[in-house]
Structure 1
Amino acid sequence: MTEFESFAVELAREAAGVTLPFFRGDYAQENKAGPGAFDPVTQADKEAEAAIRRLIAARYPDHGVIGEEYGEDRPDAEHVWVLDPIDGTRAFIAGLPLWTTLIALRTAGTPSVGVIAQPYLDEIFLGGPSGAILIRDGASTPLAVRSCEKLTDALIATTDPDIFTGSELGAWTQVRAAARLARYGCDAYAYAMVAAGRIDLVAESGLNVWDWSALQPVVEAAGGQVTDWRGGPPNGNGQIIAVGDARVREQALVAFKRAAL
């Protein structure tokens, strides 16, 4: 591993030491959304991000940080860590081991190192200059996407079709009708499964920078691609597609481009 890849793994393990004691336990939680909506945040989210930030400040005081819970600190620095301490908070509060900790290092504006960590399963999916690996039980296994020539043979995923607005939902429904199988509720863990060669396409909308920055290096180092709904680089519009085989993406883009922002 490079220095920054090793540090990203260290950060994931630090976060795991905070989140695991809360999982399936008692903890404070609140609703960040307004009346009639539900966007939960827990004590575990806040304490895990605080722990990660402390390690970054101690090791690399000149680096910036962007985090879901505590905002931005020097976001224009050459090296910026992008953090989502618990992606999939709904899964976390439901006791489902599909939430993850997302950690990315953005270098000169582009994600260069990414970690998708699921501590309850003791899994760290790492992507960066050294390649893509799964770290589990102290061992490292290379990650590689799988070949899938046709959308009709593809296993696809999204967190919840309710995240899509009118035209977006129409695009997803068309792609879902063509695909062999769709799975829901996996949040960022679905992207780890693209890198592991288990899922062929993930499409989502409404994502923030901390939701997708860690995914890109992991999927791409495993041989896949992460784009927006037009097939270009991810940007601030929140529409993301990750694929293992670009041929599947090109077929899906026939529908997604019509709803692209």
Structure 2
Amino acid sequence: MPSHPWQHRYTRNGPDYRFDSNVSFIDIKQQFGFSTIRLGRWVSIFEQQLAANLIFDALADLSFILNVPPSTLGLRQSLHLAFGCDGSVDAKAHYQPNKRTLALAKNAGGGALAHEFWHAFDHYITQHLYPHAREALASHAWLHHHQYASHPLNERLVTLFNHAMLGEDATQPSRYLQQAIALDKHHQSHYYSQPTELMARAFEAFVQDSEITNDFLVSGSHQSLLAKAGGYPQGDCRKQLNQNFYQYFTALGQALQAQKSIK
């Protein structure tokens, strides 16, 4: 069997969900509830198999970390998955809101799955958190809407946004947001302090701080140049946000399981 860089690039330490067997993209679609999965024409059969195993393990790890049923990750079958379809050598992983597609680049998508999943979730959850908002993303809508749909899960999510972006007195930016603003000033950009990017990096940190190690799912929130520059939550802020993420997604998982048992 030929060797491939992907076989040695991504470190993982987690449960053996596949029982050391290969899976297909059909398995991924069925297990995690995606609407469709699209593969690029330049992804070889051998690479398809390697990618399917990597993506399956990463999604299974994410489901385990979030304490939600695996099918939750497909966002009620509204989310599409694409692998190796962009066609650009420099293309990386990204989320396309207009197509509701989480796209992983063939050679540069590893390590970004958690970040891009948050963008997809941030987009999906807006209809439940701020049903009358014009903004497409819940974290952006948070800036402009003080009233959210009343629900215990929404209260947990708003608390998460508050802790990420506001200081203890709720009138000044959080230390994490201040660091992001400083990064934007340094790079002469308006990127790191955007609410959706701020929350995606916080989500990365939460996922990477779990007991499971999966470099294909997430990497960089500890030792990367961005991490060293203050691009991720640090110290007590990181601990608080990790707890908020855990509480929200655990409650979400319990609610989904309860719905399933009623049916």
TM-score by length of 1: 0.30
Q: Which has the higher contact order (CA 8 A, sep 6+)?
A: 2
Bigger helix fraction: 2
TM-score by length of 2: 0.30
Which one has a bigger Cα radius of gyration? Answer: 2
